[in-house]
Structure formats: structure tokens, C-alpha cells
Chain A
Amino acid sequence: MRAVLAAALIASSTLSAPLYAQQPFDMSGERSPDATGAPPQPPPAPAESPEAPPAAPEASPGGPLPQPAGATTGQRMFVIPSDRLSLAGETANREWTVYLTPEQAEAASKLNFGYRNSIYVAPEASTLSVFVNDTLIGEGPIQSPGDVSDKSFEIPYGLMRPGTNKIGFRAAQRHRTDCTVQSTYELWSDVVPERTFLEFDAAKMTAQPTLDDIRAVGVNALGQTRFNIVVPKLEQSATMTPLLRLSQALGMLAAMPNQVFEFSTGLPAKAEAGELTVVVGTAAELEVILPRLPDGARSGGIAAFMENPATGAPILVLTGPSWQSVESVVDNILAPVDRPPDVTRAVLATQRWTGMNTPLLTGSARLPFSALGLKSAEFSGRRFRTGFHVGIPSDFYGDAYGEARILLDAAYSRDVLPGSHIDVYVNGSIASTVPITRAGGDVLRHHPIRFTMRHFRPGANLIEIEAVLQTRADQICSPGTTASNEPRFALFDTSEFRVGDFARIAQLPNLAAVAGTGFPYGRGGETVDLIVERTDNQTLSATATLLSQLSVMAGRPIRTVPKASAAATGGNAIFVGQISQIPPVALAQTHLSEEAAKIWGTSAQSASADANTDMLDEWRQKTSSSSWQKPFAAVSEWLDRTFDISLGSLRFRPGEEAMFVPPDTANVVMAQGIGPSGGGAWLVLTAPTPEKLQSGAATLTRNANWERLSGSLTLFGIGDTPMESRPVTRVDFLPTQPFSFWNYRLIAANWLSTNILSYAVLLACLSVLLGLVTFSLLGRFGKGR
């Protein structure tokens, strides 16, 4: 096998034009389309590609778990970007996109997947459908209640395109026996990531990898994407900045939901799926570990794919005669994903896990469901659920007062009984319930559903609509009722999501904004001080993982400036390190106790005191209140539910935030605070040990966890609720918008809706003043002066 699979000299001039995340990124400019051996836009092919050779024996359905060995990576590609993909309820739909190189698109022949389902799913009435680029490639009954079943669907030739391709799984599931709404929660099918992959025609996979393959890095069997960055001379501190810039470039190119960076000094011994090894160093440094260098590595900066001598897997080599030339190569890779400070995004790059990029709403907007990726649907079951994503900027400040609306175009049949309802969920929390009160069916035309924006958070938000339908037939539940195909409910894609202008001012600290759009570190034109005390592999890996995640969320690389000490920073700063390495001032500003540096992770802490309250709660539930108390309890519960006024919300000034010592169960802590000078947001990522720091950074940046970052501090550990957040007690505001009365009015509305007693007092005082002034006014006019 050839030592050098491909080499592409990167000329900075060819890539100077900035491209943004949504546009296809292709670095194989010089290569002619014919190099792949196929036209770029092949004609649509029949379902079975005649050229496709028989499937590889180990990939046959029902076969053993495929070994993600290096030898097979060329033929297979895991596709599910998470460690689990569950299709729950009577109707479920999951979509995401994968990036394929032209060669992969050409060679894709089959989609294999393994799944198993709940024992309650009635196979004769339940269907699992698989879509590629919105085209159904196969469907079948859901009938794998015991073990995982493997299925394989042919991908019609030409359906896969070079670049982004959408994959969708849709399940329609019905209960075997039960007709209650409750029973629909027992319905689920899990598609198993490690058995779900695209299969390629090996014969067509001969082309050489190009830089385009960075985007096609894919995922491993757990839905993770891993970048191994091999730097023989890692200890030089001057290399940190280009390496971190490189990791951000790689992260932004791939834009996968669960990306991990790992720094090492030697080549990995094993090649894994969903992994890209990047070797960085001057030609002289690399000579030690690579038997051969790309041509011209000693004369100028170069990025080229080569073969790992140990595994034969392709590796990306970035080298040059000096670090300056390596840095210029890094800059060239970074350039197309960078975004000028004054350019705003219209979408958030979430398509790799949500199926489409999420529109970013910066103010008043109305979006038809069709533009949000929803399609009109008819439904014959009892619990219909569907959803879409909308993006909210990091300076969103409308959680307390804001209301969004859905103008619903829907219909329900005459079978649907009053008492049914349509609910709206925002990020999993219920936001509104609209009861269906009219019997005899109805067609709703732009029926407004107002719902609170309380559960909105910066970044992508999942908004779901659930229709819970009750019918007489379900109450009787004669056999076969669940299998009925008589539609009861229809949702039309002409429905609209509408949101008015909302208050926009940034709040600090706010980890949700950090998670949502990398705010404020991803703001254009500003640099971020980076304080990493010790640049060991683990700390550097954690730093790279964090920064890459931030840059993906921010849609532009974070311009970090390494600083030696906390004292040297003036503005925004990021601290990464083991807790003992974090400067005390940074701990203090993020309200981490100095004690924590000494005792966290040393088992010196006593057991949690929460056990008592848990027990008390349990006992409370066990002792039922007597019947005459029930109405009172119901009223008080209704009040609680409707108004949710706690004594805490009746305070004028927030209390002093207590210093926090992370419990021993916590593995990693991310906290944000305000710099001591009052300017700048300080972000601290820390753990008791470098190992926990590295794994903790990987855990926190997993999409499922990252989306839940909130408050001023979030920790991740072990236990029933591994992730915990501390709410912000004292907020600093940072204006992000040019002054406008309208915006400040809305800001005031939100602030007063948060500090509700202030509103009451302000209103009362102003009214009293109005009374006094009116008295004086009336005394001066009319008779009786």
C-alpha cells in the first residue's frame, strides 16, 4: 500500500474566501471530478444498484456485532450521532444528517440498522420507516421485542449526494391490548447505534481521502466523534494557540454533536470509527514518529492525508519547516469557517443532530411549520407528538414575561371527545394546554395557542406539540381498536410559530448562554484570555474539547490569547485546569470555595444531607390526606401550579451567593462568574484530577448534557441525577443591542416579572404619586381654587 494516499498542498490564496458553516466545504479544488471515477450528479438509479456487489458477509442482517476495526472503516460508517436513539410513543420521528464525501455518496449501497422494541408494540399495527433524503428506502413491521434485530435497506443509487444527506427514522406504534393514553408511554423502539451504519460498495472506495474527509469524520458506535491530535513536542507552550485553533477548525468543520479532542505525543495503535488522527509538528519533529513526510514538508506548510504506519488508517498530517508554517496551515484550514464580527447568523448549525439547521430568531418572527421541517400529518392513535427547533440568541431576556404563540391549523374528527387536549412543550417542559371542548369535530384555523417562554434558553430549543385524544372507541377498547387507521387528528404544516420582539440583554453569569451560542466568548472582534496553568495532555485535551464546542456553538472560532496569570486578564477569560491549578481569584469570582481546592475529590466531605428530605418527601406521599382536606389541597395545588410564587421570588434583592464546595460525587464543574474588575465573564472548567478533567470535558460537551448547562454553575458527577446546576442569584447585565426604548421596556418587563415585589411597590408608589399630583392639579383648575 502506498505510504502517501494523497497530498494536497494548501495554497492560502485558493481558500481565502470565507465560507460559512452551511455551505459545502470542499478543499479538493484541484482535483477533477473524474478523479472519483463517477460523475458528481449521477442519474437516479433503481432501488437495487446493479453495480453493487453482494454485501460483506459480516454485515448481513442478524449477524454478529460488526467489529469497528480499521479494516472495515472503509466500507462502513456509523450514522447515529448519539449513544441512543429512541422512538417513543405512538408516533415518533427522528432525523439528522450525515456528511458524505463524493466517493462515499457514490459508494453508499445499504443502510443497516439494529433495533429492538417494547413488548407492548403490536407488530401488525406498527411500522418502522427509514428515509434517506426524505425518500422512503424501506419500512417494515416493528417486531423485535426480545433481542436486537438487524435490518438492511438498499439505498437507491444516486439518492445519496456528496455532502449533507438526511437520514430519518419514523415509527408508528400501537399498543397490543391497551387503548389508554397512559399505555402509549409503554411504546418504544430503540435503534441501536452500534448496529446502525451505512454500508459502502468496497469496490468504489478506492479514491484517496482528501481534506474534505474532515467533515465526513462521522461517529463511532456510541455516536461520538474523536479527534486524536498527535504532537510529538507537546510540551512547548508556544504551540498551544495554533493547536487550539486547529481543534476549533476541526470541530467546526465536522460540527458533530459529541466531539472529543485528545492530545498525545505518539500515534494511536488502533484505528476506530468516527475518529480522525491529526499529526501536527514541524517536519523535524514528525520525522521521529512518521516513516515518511509529505512531499515538500521541509519547504513550506502542508496539510496532507497519509497512512498511519501502525494501523494503515488515514491520518492528517500538518507540517512545515517551522511552527510558523504549521500555524499558517492551521489558519488556512480555519479560514473558511471563520465569520467576520459584523456578520450575524440566520441559523444555528444543528443539522447533524436535528436534521436541519435551526433558524435563529433575533426578534419578532413568524415561521410556518413547513419552514421548520414539519409536514402535514394525519393521526389515528391517541397521543400525537411532533416537534421542531427554533434558535434563540444568547441575550434572550424574556423568560419571565415572554409569550410565544402557535397559530394552529389542525382538525379533529367527530370521534374525539371533549376532554382531549393539545399541549405545547418547550424543551421538555409543559408550556401550555389547550383543552378540546367542542364535541363533533372541528377544523381549527390559525387557532392561537399562547405559551410562556419561560423554558426557552439560548441556542436551539425543542418545541413539541402533543395532542392527547380521547374517543368513545378507546374507552370501550374492543379488540383491534388500536389498529384502526381511521384518522382522528390532523396537523397542517400551514400552522405558524410566532414570537414577538423579546427583551435582549445579556446576563452574566449564564451557562445557558455559553452553551447556546458560546456567549460571550464567541462574540466577534473580542479576544478571550485563556489561562491554563499546566499544559499536560489531559488539560490540553479538555481545553480543546471545550473551545471546539464553544466555537461550534458560536459559529466562529474563539480567539484565545494565552495569559500566564489571572492578574493579567482584563476582559473575558476561560480557566481550564485541575482545581488546585485554578487561580484563587478565579475560584472566588465563580463562587467556588477555596476549600474546594483542598478537599474536593479527597473523600473528606461528609455524606449528602439531602437523604433526610428525600425520606421526608417519601413519607409525605405515603400518608394520604383525609378526604375533607382534599378540596383545600386541590386549591392550594392549583395556586401552586398556576402561579408558582415562592417566597424567594418575593425578595427585593437577591441574597449573597454562598461559596460552593462541589460534592465528592461530582467529577467536573463548569462555573461562570464576573471578573473582579466588573468587566468580563470568567468561565472555569475544573475537576479534581487531570484525568477527570479530560473525561469531564468530554461528558459536559456531549450534546445531551451541553444543552442542559444552566445557571452559574453546572456539575456533572455520578448518581441518580449526575448533572446539577446552581441557579444564578445575582445577575449582571451586559447590553448587546444598540439603545432602543422598546428593548428597554421589554427588559424592564422581564426584570419586574422576575422581581415581582418590585413591580407591586413601583406601581403602588407611582400611583400614590399620581394621586398626589392629580390632587395638586385639580386644586389649580376649575372652581373652588
Chain B
Amino acid sequence: MNRIGTVAVWAVVTLCVLTLITLPINMQTQLIASITIVALMALIKILKGEGIWRLVALALGTAIILRYVYWRSTSTLPPISQLENFIPGFLLYLAEMYSVGMLALSLFVVSMPLPPRTGRTSEVKSLPRVDVFVPSYNEDEALLANTLAAAKAMDYPADRLQVWLLDDGSTEQKRNSHKVLEAQAALARHDTLRRLCEELGVRYLTRARNEHAKAGNLNNGLAHSDGELVAVFDADHAPARDFLRETVGYFDDDPKLFLVQTPHFFLNPDPLERNLRTFEKMPSENEMFYGIIQRGLDKWNAAFFCGSAAVLSRRALKETDGFSGVSITEDCETAIALHARGWNSVYVDKPLIAGLQPATFASFIGQRSRWAQGMIQILRFRFPLFKRGLSIPQRLCYMSSTLFWFFPFPRTMFLIAPLFYLFFDLQIFTASGGEFLGYTLAYMLVNMMMQNYLYGTFRWPWISELYEYVQSVHLLPAVVSVILNPRKPTFKVTAKDESVLVSRLSEISRPFFVIFTVLFIALLVSVYRFYAEPYKADVTLVVGGWNLLNLIIAGCALGVVSERGEKSASRRVRVSRRCDFVTDGHSFPATIENVSANGARVQVYGIDRQNVGFDMDAVIRFVPYGGDEPEELPVQVRNVEGHGDLTAIGCRFTPCVARHHSLVADLIFANSNQWSDFQLARRGNPGILFGTLWFLRVALYQTSRGLVYLLRSAKPGARVAKAGEAGPGVAGEATR
């Protein structure tokens, strides 16, 4: 069958399905149909149907969702004559339709994602010259040293690889600032980084003025370099050794290729993962995007540039005069421009860089605000649906990516909708208890099953809702502001090197407690009304249940904004690497157990614990991936413990020369397989039932934790005491 024939058949079948779905059947029929389809979907799920069954299950779910949409549109809106009901009712309806629309778009994107590409390491005819750009604004030397060292250590002919530090933190503008403090800092930074670059063999570049933020900085880099390919790494994104080997080959295959994007892998948890303690066992938030959505986008040749961890073609960038800078998400904007010009992109689903993400809730929100505002700017200025040059699938893909960021509106609507009834007795959704059972409940169930089908191993039940809720509270004003003033937002660099040493409430946690209180009062009201007004107990039950769901999520969010103090400032990566631990001229066989940017924990065999003291200098000797000879990395002992022949020694790196940074980078970043393994270990689908139970447990615990933090913070002087307590924690950093 040719393509036109397939499309025709598909259109006919779709038309039949739509005709059947838009029949005004009665409630009994709907109920039986819902039960049948939910049962079929569950059956496919239990039998772990993949491939063609995945699409069958999705089609079954789509049928129920379209039934719901049809019914919701034709039967449930309050009469327009009752404006007090109609307006909130219609807003809720819009919110639901937005959700359904987004589900439709994401179905299009991810119903059949490309399988992960097998490595493209060999058979490169000619290795092109690559310029590696590491744009920096305010990151400190140690962080940059690691990144630059890792970039420099990439497995690629040295003569064809040039690493650039694009320093926007010490531009002429900054160095000549009228503020003396700023000027002095910029001057100092300029000198330090210059020296670092010289030591590492990296080219240092800065410019006159901080124009067009990151895009301008990168364009400045483009103007001063001439490699055929450009790799971009954020200052905190250190590449693995095989980064270029895995990516460059694709440019050989396709002359019209402009981008090879790889996932962002984070060594540290985001605030939610950290405060909920899910980093080790639950897939990260961004894994849904990099694990499946980008693969889905790649199917439609719409994988887009994410600002870092990507290789781009200079030839392509020349066509658009470099990186576009209208929006504050220059990466996606550049990708749209190049896709519209007929260039192609490729996504490689293997973590090849490791980076940091914001540690505090406030900077997490700041980062998300930038993404949301940037994507809405793109929607506003480059409206992808009508962007000439894009293929229809690409348009849909970009619409999906940009429209996603309107989620604060529906999320807010879902949050407050039950309150209209509970507090003001408005009827914004006209349905009987039976209809609710036959339509709404079936819709919700099917929706969850479809989400689980699509993203099950990458996203556990209710976690999307939680992420959306915690972001919505602060993103809503940001999104509203960018809609009103699309040109106003400016590029702000997200701080990623913060750490929370003391347990405390986030500085932007107050709205969460207010919302929680309101929802809790609503819960009490619903209980009261259930008994006081028996004639509408069914409606109260449904609305109260909905509110309870919101309350559970809001309660869980209290845990998210209650920042747990952490002893370690930077995240340890579990490695297993043979080495020798050398102290006082004696060498002991040892294994590096885990490593962070600042230190490592080593299991040493046969050392006399008495001879190892605090602050003692030592050396770890190991063979880096990038060389054949063992090299030495100086450390300082921080902590010793052990049983029998094995002694665990916590030590801090004391790098003196640039080469030491390379060695640290080699320890942490060289082996990309360890990141894949870590990700795979977290990927598991708990299923809707167990996922829900698990979430309930977490939510209950986090609610109590949030309330305890609130009580503590209310006590005067509590913070001071906590700060004092934290002291030894800082000292004991990198010990455990």
C-alpha cells in the first residue's frame, strides 16, 4: 500500500470512529462501553503489549476521551443565562479542552517514538574540525575547570578540537563598570580564567558588551572560530570522553544535518527529588523529555536544540546568522529557524554529558520561568503552526512543545474549580452522579492509563501533577506577564551551584501553605455539606473528592518547598575504579567508590588506620581513560572508618595544576556508561495502582514534614540554632 492509500484508509477509519463517538447514545450504553474499553486497555497492559498493541491501547483510550469531549461539550456546560455559573464553567471547560488538546499533540509526538539509536562511533570518513563553546556568565573557576578539562579530554584528535571559554562575566562592559565592586570582580575573574585557560590549553574569549545574552555570546564565539562543527556545553555540563565520537558521525551521513542533540544528565537532584528523596529510585523529571519526547520529536525530524550538550553545523548556523536571540530560549528558536530552512536534526538518546541542576526551589522556579516565558515568546513571535518551511508534523511538534507551557492556567483552574461549588454553591459542571461515573471517571481512568502507557517508565503516577502544581503557583504570574509583555523578559542565568546546607522553608514557600489551608478548609466544608445537605450529597461527594485530590497534591508540595539540609555541597557519583592510595610514600591497593567534584571516597586495602589522620595529605594514583600511564591526584583525608582489612577513606581533592582538574573530570565524567546505568536503575513502572499508593504515602509524609518545618520556622530563633547545628555538617563535607 502506498502512502496516499494508507492515509485514505486511515481517514476513513477515523471518520467511522468519529461518527460512532458522536452518536448521542444514552448513559447505560456509555457505561458499558467505558467498562469494556477500560478492561481491554487493562488487559493489553497486563499482557505488556508493545509495538502494535501500544497503538491499539492508545486508540481505545482515545475513543473514551473523545466520548468524554463530545459529552462535555454537548451536555455539561451551564446555561449561558446563568453567567455566574457559565463563566467559571466555561473556563474549566477550556482548561479541560486544553488538556485534551495537549494529550492529542503528545499522542502525535510520542505514539511511536524512534527507538534509541545505536552508537555511531565508527566509520567516520573524515573527522571535521570542532569548536567547543563553553559559555559562562558567573560560574566559578573550579566548576569551569572541571567542564573545560572534561571538554579537553574528549576522545578526538587534538588538532581538530578547539575548546573555547566564552566568558560573559568579564566583558569590557563589566570590567569598566561604574560600580567599583563589579568592575573589580570582573577584572579578577578575567585574570583567573585567562590563566586557567592557558593552563588547560583552552582558548579564552570575551567581548565588549553583554548584548543578546547567551545567543550573543555564542555568536561572538562563532565569529572568532572557523571549525565546521560547533559543540555547545553549558558551564556546568561536562562531557564524557566519547561525546564527539557518538555525535559527529551523523553529520557525515546527512549533509543537511544541523543538530545532534544529546540528553542532559544531572548529577544532582532537583528540589523535588531532593526534598522527596526520590532521586535514587524514581526517574528524573527531565527523563520524560529526553527519554521519550525527544525521541518522538526525532521521529518527525523535530528534535530541537536544548542549549547545551549538542553539536551544530556552522554551515547551517551561517544561514541564520548564528543563534537567534529574540526570545530568551535562543536554543529552541534557533532550531525552529533551521528546521524551517529545511535542515534536519538528530537526537541521540544516550547521556553524554553530566551537569548540575538548580538545587533550591527558588532557582528551580527561576529556571522554569525562563523556559516558560521563552517558549511563549516563541509562540508569540514565531508561531510554529503557521511557520513557513516547517513540515506539518514539525509544526505540530513545536506547537506541542510551546503550548505545553500554558499548563499553569488549567492547573490553576483544576485547583480552584471545586471551590466554586464548595464555597459559593455555584454549579459550573452540570452532570448527574451516573453521568459522572460513566463519563468523567472513565475519562480520568483512561487518561491515567494512557499516560502510564506513554510514559510509564519515565514518569510515575501523579508526579506530573505534582510538578505542574509546584510550578504553577509561581509560573502563572510569569506566564501572564509574558503574554501581556512579550518583549519584557530578559535572559537570567540560572544559579546551579547553590546548596542547601540547612533545613529550612524555601523563601517562596508561603503561597503553598496558604493554598493548602484554603483547600483544607474546603475539605471541612465538603464534609459538613455532605451531612448537612443530604439532597445533594452525591455532588458534594464528587466535588469533595476532587478537592481532596488537590489537597493531597498540595500537601505533597509542602514537602517540596521544605528544603532539606544536605551535608554535601556537590553530588557524589558512584564509580568503581581501581587505584592506588599513596600516603607517606606507601602505596595501598584501593578502589574509588564514589566521587564528586570536590572529593572521593576510597576503599583502601591493608592500610593501618592509626596512621591515617585528619587533614593528612595523600595521593590517588590511577590510569585515566584518556591515557595509558597512571597519574596522581593530590587529596586531603577528611574522614576514616572501616572494618578489618578494608578502610574507607573520605578525602577532598586539592588540585594544584590544571592537569589535576582533568584527572577529576576523568574520574567523574569520562565514562558515560555509568550515567546510563544509573538512569536505567531508576526506570521501572510501578503501575497505576502501586504508583498511586506510593504517592499517597509520600504525600502524607511530606504534608506532615512541611507542617513541621512551618512550625519550626515560626519559632523565633529556630533558624539561628539550626545554622549552628549545620556547622559540623559543612566541615564533614565529602566524608560520607
| Residues of chain A at the chain B interface (Cβ within 8 Å) | 400-401, 403, 407, 418-419, 421, 435, 437-438, 445-448, 450, 452, 638, 642-645, 649-650, 745-746, 748-749, 752-753, 756-757, 759-764, 766-784
Contact = CB atoms under 8 A, between A and B. Distances in A.
B518 interface: no
A757 B112 CA distance: 31
A782 B13 contact: no
Contacts of A403: 24
Contacts of A772: 52, 55-56
A447 B81 CA distance: 8
B217 interface: no
Interface in B23-48: 23-29, 31-33, 35-37, 40
Given A757-B32, A771-B59, A400 B434 contact: no
A693 B494 CA distance: 95
The 10 closest A-B pairs by CB, nearest first: A771-B56, A771-B59, A642-B434, A760-B36, A749-B23, A756-B29, A760-B33, A419-B535, A753-B26, A782-B299
A645 B31 contact: yes
A768 B62 CA distance: 11
Contacts of A764: 33, 36-37, 40, 60, 63
A784 B114 contact: yes
A645 to B, nearest CB: 5
B464 interface: no
B90 to A, nearest CB: 15
20 contacts: A419-B534, A447-B79, A447-B81, A642-B432, A645-B32, A759-B32, A763-B17, A763-B20, A763-B21, A764-B40, A766-B20, A767-B63, A768-B59, A771-B60, A772-B56, A778-B299, A780-B3, A782-B301, A783-B114, A783-B299
Nearest to A762: B20
Contacts of B536: 418, 435, 437
Contacts of A774: 10, 55, 58-59, 111
Contacts of B3: 780-781
Nearest to B60: A767
Contacts of A445: 81-82
Contact of A643 (B13, B28, B112, B425): B28
Given A445-B81, A643-B27, A783 B19 contact: no
Nearest to B7: A777
Given A645-B31, A774-B59, A784-B115, A759 B535 contact: no
A446 B32 contact: no
Nearest to B114: A784
A763 B23 CA distance: 11
B72 to A, nearest CB: 15
Interface of B: 1, 3, 6-7, 9-10, 13-14, 16-17, 19-21, 23-29, 31-33, 35-37, 40, 51-52, 55-60, 62-63, 75, 79, 81-82, 111-112, 114-115, 298-301, 393, 425, 427, 432-434, 437-438, 533-536
A221 to B, nearest CB: 46
Given A401-B29, A748-B23, A756-B29, 19 more contacts: A403-B24, A642-B27, A643-B31, A645-B31, A752-B25, A753-B28, A756-B28, A756-B32, A759-B25, A760-B37, A763-B33, A767-B17, A771-B57, A774-B55, A774-B111, A776-B6, A780-B3, A781-B393, A782-B301
Contacts of A784: 114-115, 299
A309 B683 CA distance: 106
A359 B115 CA distance: 65
B533 A437 contact: yes
Contacts of B7: 777
Given A756-B32, A771-B57, A435 B535 contact: yes
A486 B111 CA distance: 65
A438 B425 CA distance: 7
A778 B425 contact: no
A401 B25 contact: yes
Q: Is the interface of B mostly helix, strand, loop or mixed?
A: helix
A654 B40 CA distance: 26
Counting chain B CB atoms within 10 Å of each CB, the highest count among A450, A760, A761, A778 belongs to: A760
B112 A775 contact: yes
A722 B63 CA distance: 48
B37 A745 contact: no
A544 to B, nearest CB: 42
Nearest to A748: B23
A781 B111 CA distance: 13
Counting chain B CB atoms within 10 Å of each CB, the highest count among A447, A448, A761, A764 belongs to: A764
A649 B433 CA distance: 21
B79 A446 contact: yes
Given A767-B37, A770-B13, A774-B55, A745 B23 contact: yes
Contacts of A421: 535
Nearest to B438: A643
Contacts of A435: 535-536
Contacts of A642: 27, 432-434, 437
Contacts of B63: 763-764, 766-767, 770
A390 to B, nearest CB: 20
Contacts of B56: 767-768, 771-772, 775
Given A418-B533, A438-B425, A450 B27 contact: no
A745 B16 CA distance: 12
Nearest to A503: B24
A746 B25 CA distance: 9
A409 to B, nearest CB: 10
Nearest to B29: A756
Given A772-B52, A781-B393, A766 B13 contact: yes
Nearest to A757: B32
A759 B29 contact: yes
A405 to B, nearest CB: 10
A650 B28 CA distance: 10
Given A748-B23, A769-B13, A437 B535 contact: yes
Nearest to A403: B24
A766 B79 CA distance: 34
A766 B24 contact: no
A218 to B, nearest CB: 45
Contacts of B32: 645, 650, 756-757, 759-760
A783 B298 contact: yes
A644 B28 CA distance: 7
A403 B33 CA distance: 20
B244 to A, nearest CB: 23
B341 to A, nearest CB: 19
Given A437-B533, A753-B25, A761 B79 contact: no
A753 B536 CA distance: 28
Nearest to A470: B535
A324 B9 CA distance: 68
Contacts of B26: 400-401, 452, 753
Nearest to A445: B81
A406 B315 CA distance: 69
A773 B20 CA distance: 17
A1 B63 CA distance: 84
Contacts of A446: 79, 81
Contacts of A767: 17, 37, 56, 59-60, 62-63
B19 to A, nearest CB: 7
